[in-house]
């Protein structure tokens, strides 16, 4: 085997090794991203559970705010 062929073979092996490492890292990254999303969802749900029940969400009246509304005058029949 000549010097050029030997260097080409070494370069190809290095590329193969790096591709395998990149595949392993991509798989690890996918798992880490999934875990991160699950924790973000869990944090959001805990925030919803711990939020005060009578606090309006995003400017909308809560379902309980209707109970504190003054009642209009009653009309005689």
Domain spans, the chain: 20-50
pLDDT in tens, the chain (77 residues): 899 999 999 999 999 999 999 999 999 999 999 999 999 999 999 999 999 876 655 655 555 555 555 555 555 44
User: What pLDDT is recorded for position 46?
Assistant: 94
Q: How far is CA 47 from the centre of its chain?
A: 15
Record the tokens describing residue 10, joined without a space.
């070494």
What's the pTM? 0.55
User: What pLDDT is recorded for position 61?
Assistant: 57
- 25 neighbors 34 (Cβ within 8 angstroms): no
Helices (H), ranges, the chain: 3-50
């Amino acid at each position: 085997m000549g010097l050029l062929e030997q260097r080409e073979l070494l370069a190809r092996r290095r590329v193969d090794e790096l591709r395998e490492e990149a595949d392993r890292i991509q798989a690890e990254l996918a798992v880490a991203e999934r875990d991160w999303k699950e924790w973000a969802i869990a944090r959001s749900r805990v925030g919803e559970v711990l939020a005060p029940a009578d606090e309006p969400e995003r400017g909308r009246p809560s379902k309980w705010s209707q109970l504190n509304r003054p009642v209009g005058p009653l009309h005689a029949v």
